[in-house]
Amino acid sequence: MRKLTGVLSITILFIVIYLLTWPVPITPVSWKSPPNPGYTGPFAVNTRLAAIEKLPLGETHGPEDIALDADGRIYAATNEGFIVRLENSHAKSEKWVNTGGRPLGIDFDGNGNLIVADGYIGLLSIAPDGKITELVNSVDGVPLGFTDDVDVAADGKIYFSDASVKFKAKTYGTMAASLLDLMEHGGHGRLIVYDPASGKASTLITGLNFANGVAVSPDQSYVLVNETGNYRVLRYWITGPRKGAWEPLIESLPAFPDNISAGFDGRFWVALVSPRNPLLDGLAGKPFIRKMIQRLPEAIKPKAVHYGHIIAVNETGKVVADLQDPNAACPINTSVTETSQYLYIGSLVTDFIARLPKSEAGL
């Protein structure tokens, strides 16, 4: 019994020392979590997202973002590095090109090139014939760490996000890198603009906590960027008397915002990847404990909850549409692309593109 007690004591001591001292990649920062509205008010629980259709992706999965070209062909950026293309919604998917990295946000420019935010490589352009050109891999002397989302303005300028210059997607993987950045909360993200005419890129906003989705307004006066770690959407003015200034468009979201896109009738669609984690919010001001949690085995660390959820906000930040599926037929939502008839919805984990008829969404 005495020997067993000694072994137990040593084991406990080892665990305590491990939890207190084992090196981890994060240096957590104390912050104040904004109020969580929960699933009430404009976010009241509903099942409006449950009627999705599924467009199979074949051997690929994780369609982070979806874009349609001028001919109506459907493109998706997948986890295997492929840009997958479907000639139409009834066609079998084809592996169009492979970037050699992890393509995330995608958008077409005015010349029919697919602009790709590749988390591993940087900002890419893919010509209609499939030729890949690297546009940007470093900005203001700082290498891109996690190129995340992209939107092309009417004047050809390309706005994109670098989610984290510290926790690089290629080093850790996109999911692991995002979790590390959120746990540290060190403000390593930035919003960037690239001008193809000059070939130069410059930083517009720094210090963001996981800079994610990017969308230029229809009138081209501002660009929106989702700050995932602070549960909000920011507006950066690119023209007018407030040019260069920025402010929140909507704050205190009930979930982690991923990508954002301009839709119809003044809507901006925000994909909510997972509900907020009460543990993470509760430990916002306790960086030492967050560091200890990082030392726990992966199996017992907090996990993203599967919950289908997308919202639309207008130019004042008012929620004008809220579509949910608590049963998560399409979980971990990452993007929304609106056409005249459908909402195409991205995901980090599905082996299909989700599509919702706008008639089912009440639009």
Summarised one tens digit per residue, pLDDT across range 93-138 is: 999 999 999 999 999 999 999 999 999 999 999 999 999 999 999 9
Is residue 315 within 8 Å of 42, Cβ to Cβ?
Answer: no
Q: What angle do CA 355, 360, 216 make, to 5 degrees?
A: 60
- Count how many Cα atoms sit within 13 Å of the Cα of residue 127 in the half-sphere of its side chain: 5
Which residues, 6 or more positions from 338, have their beta carbon under 8 angstroms from its beta carbon? 261, 263, 264, 267, 269, 344, 358
The predicted structure's pLDDT at residue 10: 58
Strand order in the sheet with 319-325: 255-262, 268-275, 308-313, 319-325
Nearest C-alpha neighbor of 128 from the set 75, 77, 78, 92: 75
The predicted structure's pLDDT at residue 91: 82
- Reduced to 3 states (helix: H, G, I; strand: E, B; else coil), residue 213 is strand
- Count how many Cα atoms sit within 13 Å of the Cα of residue 34 in the half-sphere of its side chain: 17
* pLDDT surpasses 80 at 8: no
The predicted structure's pLDDT at residue 300: 77
The predicted structure's pLDDT at residue 279: 87
Summarised one tens digit per residue, pLDDT across range 287-313 is: 999 998 898 888 877 788 999 999 999
Summarised one tens digit per residue, pLDDT across range 223-235 is: 999 999 999 999 9
* pLDDT surpasses 80 at 22: no
The predicted structure's pLDDT at residue 13: 52
Is residue 205 within 8 Å of 222, Cβ to Cβ?
Answer: no
* pLDDT surpasses 70 at 276: yes
Summarised one tens digit per residue, pLDDT across range 327-345 is: 999 999 999 999 999 999 9
Summarised one tens digit per residue, pLDDT across range 44-71 is: 999 999 999 999 999 999 999 999 999 9
* pLDDT surpasses 70 at 9: no
Distance CA 53, CA 37 (A): 30
Domains along the chain with CATH numbers: 38-361 (2.120.10.30)
- Averaged over 6-35, what is the pLDDT? 72
- Reduced to 3 states (helix: H, G, I; strand: E, B; else coil), residue 186 is coil
74 CA to centre of own chain? 20
Q: What is the DSSP letter of 229?
A: G
Q: Which residues pair with 66 in a beta bridge?
A: 76
Angle between helices 287-294 and 174-184 (to 10 degrees): 150
